[in-house]
Amino acid sequence: MFFSKMHGLGNDFMVIDNITQKMVNFTPALIRNLSNRNLGIGFDQLLLINQSNDPTIDFYYRIFNADGSEVEQCGNGVRCFAYFVYLKGLTKKKKISVRTKKTHMILEILENNQIKVNMGEPVFDLALIPCQWTVQKKFYTIKIFDKNLPFGIVSMGNPHCVTIVKNLSAYEVESIGSSVSNNVIFPNKINVGFMEIINSDNINLRVYERGVGETKACGSGACAAVAIGIYNKLLSEQVKVSLSGGNLYITWKGSGNNMYMIGSATHVYDGYIFL
């Protein structure tokens, strides 16, 4: 089986073309083995590219975390997906329509491996996150390690909660992120963002991704953080999000409008493996 290794700002992926080669049954155990950074290929997520049966959709693709669980959305992954299908000649289009497990997106390939993604409108409906709270608020409190932490909650096609912190570089992202992500309040678990606001146009961000842990970048997490910031009138309509792997540029004009993300996608190498 042939595959490509790619990354979006250090958030890395194993990408597999299931259109031109025989499909493989990727069990959770197989994905965990492949994702192992010492004994396998090593990646945060696996992306499986499939043909679409809908004439209005160019491709369908599936996303699996390193622990083998399937998820709905991945902002860095979708940019790598767009660059992959164009690089490998699966399409000649520079504007691509794609569907994941729950999300439909329009992707645009720009110059210098930059990809623009229409991420749709952020969703604040608690029932669609989902979570056990029923009363809509701007911030919700979760007790973690005997401290009450305020979080904003939003879906970008996948669930996110975001807290505002100071001194982000020293923050205990792994331990707090794991505790929040696996809290019983979130039946499907949740991605956890830690946002440090520099000014209304710039934020720093670290993200604990469910089923993975902290990653160098998270595209949907960047969108979620900006959505929470704008929703609470803390950020402007255009924000640079600085992650440990690089920068993303997010634009959102508020309720009733789609959010847009621009960032890079990088092809690292091609390989093959016997399964």
Give the active site residues.
74, 218
Q: Where are the extended beta strands (E) located within 43-93? A: 45-51, 59-65, 70-71
Q: CA dist 194 to 39, 74, 91, 171, 226, Å?
A: 31, 17, 37, 9, 11
Give me the residue label for tokens 């992954």: 77
Residue type, 61: Y
Q: CA dist 263 to 75, 77, 117, 207, Å?
A: 9, 11, 9, 17
Whether 200 contacts 234, CB under 8 Å: yes
Q: How far is CA 189 from the centre of its chain?
A: 14
SS3 label, residue 197: strand
Give me the residue label for tokens 């996110």: 160
